[in-house]
Amino acid sequence: MVRNLAVFALIPLALGACSRTGEIDANGGGAGVTAVRSACPHVAIPAGTGDMTIFNPATSRESSAIDVNAVMTNVTSTCDDAGQQVVTTVNFDVLARRQSDDGARDVSFPYFVTVVRGGTSVVAKRINRVTVHFEPGQLRAQTSGTATTYVDRSAATLPDEVRKRLTEKRKAGEQAAAMDPLADPSIRGAVLSATFEALVGFQLTEDQLKYNVTR
């Protein structure tokens, strides 16, 4: 399952934590590329893992066999990057719907939180559960969940020489002024290596993931 998560968390999110704007000073004063970057990871739900469908019977994929469906939503995060560890707390809601409102029922949904480095490398993963309680006669219910990730601040910090390349001043007319520092593979690689994502989603089986992707 880790392999699948890495595929769905590819490069489109990798630079989300690093935005930049650049302006060449035509008056000759010189300007660099202003790199706005945080050590806090980008938080997201990987594609295909934001909802879970339970069937009865379990082997059926007919709509008439859907027992319970749950959606993960309202993902928010708080990040503390003041210490040696960058600590990110992820909060989310789970909205669930069942087909039958007979009696009270608790349904437990497994979910994961994983830390991805450079867009493809899963460096940590934990699995937990969140339980939704249905009262008798109730078709819809919801609950909240939380997860915490830890990243070494040193790993999420750009080397001085890379930061210098990104912010060095350039003059209009110079060849270097027209070059994006991230076009240099070594610079881009360093930025990716220091870029982390905290991803949360339902822990799905291969069949459940396939159902979400292909339906």
**pLDDT tens-digit map of 100-135:** 999 999 999 999 999 999 988 999 999 999 999 999
According to DSSP H, which parts of 52-178 are helical?
160-167
Q: Whole-angstrom Cα distance, residue 172 to residue 42?
A: 34
**Backbone phi and psi for residue 83, each to the nearest 5 degrees, phi listed first:** -105, -165
**Cis geometry, peptide bond prior to residue 57 (ω within 30 degrees of 0):** yes
What is the rounded average pLDDT of the residues 64-88? 95
Place of tokens 């210490």: 83
Strands 121-134 and 105-117: antiparallel
Burial (Cβ within 10 Å: 0-12, 13-18, ≥19) of residue 111: buried
CA–CA gap between residue 205 and residue 91 (Å, rounded): 23
Question: Does a structural domain hold residue 23?
Answer: no
The verdict on residue 179 lying in a domain is no
Decide which of 182 and 98 is more confident. Answer: 98
Average pLDDT, the chain: 81
Domain assignment present for 203: yes
Kindly indicate the confidence band of residue 85, based on its pLDDT and cuts at 50, 70 and 90: very high
C-alpha–C-alpha distance, residues 14 and 6, integer Å: 12
**What CATH number is associated with residue 119?**
2.60.40
Query: pTM for the whole thing?
Result: 0.76
Number of domains the chain contains:
1
In a domain, 102, yes or no: yes
**What phi, psi does 173 have (nearest 5°)?**
100, -20
In a domain, 208, yes or no: yes
Closest CA to 162 of 133, 185, 196, 139: 185
Q: Which domain holds residue 125?
A: 42-154+196-214
Highest mean pLDDT among 27-31, 57-61, 85-89, 168-172: 85-89
- Asked, for residue 121, whether it belongs to a domain, the answer is yes
Most distant CA atoms of the chain, gap in Å: 76
In tens, the pLDDT along 41-69 reads 999 999 999 999 999 999 999 999 999 99
